[in-house]
Amino acid sequence: MNGMKKTVIHVVGARPNFMKIAPIFVSIKEQNQRNNSLFIDQFIVHTGQHYGKEMSESFFSDLGIPNPHFNLNVGSGSHAYQTANIMLSFERVLEELFPDLVVVGGDVNSTVACAITAKKAGIRVAHVEAGLRSFDRSMPEEINRILTDSISDLLFTTEQSANINLSNDGISPEKIFFVGNTMIDSLVQQLKNAIQLKTMERVNLYGNGPIKYGLLTMHRPANIDNADVLSGFLKTFSLLSDNIPMVFPAHPRTVKQIKENKMEALFSTTHEVLRNKKGMVLIDPLGYRDMLNLMRSAEYVITDSGGIQEETTYLGIPCLTIRENTERPVTIDYGTNILVGQDPELLSEEISKIISGKQKKGVVPALWDGKASERIVDTISSFLKS
């Protein structure tokens, strides 16, 4: 090829990063094959914030991207430990590759650690899913978002609220690009593969045929770190699962809390759930495609995750978010999402509505069309050429 060559690093670290970054990697690869004026040499750097098959490795094969070119293996630890160690190791990767652009996604510790390291090394940064705000600074993610946005050169947004937030923070408009949602790109690309999977059979919840179920995910410190709050939630869920069984693929930190506080008795076995058609069952975390498959057939989803609020909105599945706020208001204003906070009565009321067919209906937000990565790659290419 005769054109220009540039180097880009994609940073991933925790579970929600993989599906946000994968479609951008794939779009760049496709563009490299078509375009003669610019070749982007791209590398995936995994910080190792999440690790093991279920929390990390399975996502690479599920999303059709290569294994990371670098793994910083930072592992778990306090916020300062994790952030500082990622910065030290990432600096060495930057010295080796000296990229033209570092792409970070979302709001996890890996995002902010790599954005700061790159900027201080004089390297430009693109933030995917910029501008979201919960306006709750007790959430570590809110701090990560504010800091990352404040130093990024390209800010790619998923919804209009983000554009307004960035403008209110004084970010100049020529850095902001409303492109849509790359997490939805991954969903659109993988849904047909996901629906082929026999996920309920695999987790032993099929029996003589399909069963109705609600799906639960919960991992935020505000919901699980305090034993009284956690047990309050689990008791409510257990009561609700008398109507429709509830399936709970649990994050390792949630499982740890359940075990430490001896709350396992609130759960049923898969055998009991199949026999009694009620009860709540704890299962291991699922890979990306299996999770999509369970989500799209659930009667409802209860969650404190950010991404799942968006995925359920796209799929049209009722979502009850056990948080007081959300940084993704489009899922409330246009989608199927409802905030229920830590209020068991509100949760029960909303589930009764769903069971009686009176659930909230939504529409798919603007530009959540599976093409956000293409728009991002067009912008990145012009930026790298200029």
Find, among 172, 136, 132, 135, the residue nearest to 148 by Cα.
Answer: 132
Nearer to ligand UD1, 49 or 85 (CB): 49
Site string for ligand UD1, 253-272 (x = CB under 6 A): x--x----------------
Measured from the CB of residue 49, what is the shortest distance to ligand UD1 in angstroms? 5
Count helices and strands (H / E) in the chain: 17, 13
Measured from the CB of residue 183, what is the shortest distance to ligand UD1 in angstroms? 13
Interaction between residue 232 and ligand UD1 (CB under 6 A): no
Binder among 51, 59, 60, 233 for ligand UD1 (CB under 6 A): 51
Tokens describing residue 219: 């991992």
Nearer to ligand UD1, 109 or 163 (CB): 109
Nearer to ligand UD1, 145 or 375 (CB): 145
Interaction between residue 52 and ligand UD1 (CB under 6 A): yes
Measured from the CB of residue 67, what is the shortest distance to ligand UD1 in angstroms? 16
Catalytic residue among 10, 50, 127, 219: 219
Binder among 219, 296, 323, 375 for ligand UD1 (CB under 6 A): 219
Nearer to ligand UD1, 161 or 257 (CB): 257
Max alpha carbon distance in the chain (Å)?
Answer: 67
Nearer to ligand UD1, 14 or 183 (CB): 14
Query: What is the enclosing helix (H) or strand (E) of 12?
Result: strand 4-12
Is the distance from CB of 126 to CB of 380 less than 8 angstroms? yes
Measured from the CB of residue 285, what is the shortest distance to ligand UD1 in angstroms? 9
DSSP 134: -
What residue type is assigned to position 128 of the chain? V
Binder among 6, 8, 11, 16 for ligand UD1 (CB under 6 A): 16
Is the distance from CB of 274 to CB of 205 less than 8 angstroms? yes
Q: Using alpha carbons, list the distances in angstroms from residue 333 to 277, 317, 322, 362.
A: 34, 15, 17, 8
- The answer to whether 219 is a known catalytic residue is yes
Binder among 22, 108, 123, 274 for ligand UD1 (CB under 6 A): 108
Q: Using alpha carbons, list the distances in angstroms from residue 349 to 34, 277, 345.
A: 53, 21, 6
Interaction between residue 100 and ligand UD1 (CB under 6 A): no
Measured from the CB of residue 47, what is the shortest distance to ligand UD1 in angstroms? 10
Site string for ligand UD1, 162-201 (x = CB under 6 A): ----------------------------------------
Tokens describing residue 115: 């954005």
DSSP 265: G
Measured from the CB of residue 6, what is the shortest distance to ligand UD1 in angstroms? 29
Find, among 197, 213, 196, the residue nearest to 248 by Cα.
Answer: 213
Query: What residues between 320 and 379 interact with ligand UD1 by CB under 6 A?
Result: none
Interaction between residue 252 and ligand UD1 (CB under 6 A): yes
Number of residues that bind ligand UD1 (CB under 6 A): 19
DSSP 151-201: H-SEEEESSHHHHHHHHHTT--GGGEEE---HHHHHHHHHHHHHTTS-HHH
DSSP 361: P
Residues linked to residue 40 through DSSP beta bridges, in sequence order: 6
Find, among 287, 286, 218, 288, the residue nearest to 256 by Cα.
Answer: 218
Binder among 61, 67, 73, 76 for ligand UD1 (CB under 6 A): 76
Tokens describing residue 102: 């570092």
Instruction: Using CB under 6 A, list all residues that contact ligand UD1.
Output: 14-16, 49-52, 55, 76, 107-109, 140-141, 219, 251-253, 256
Mind telling me the catalytic residues? 219
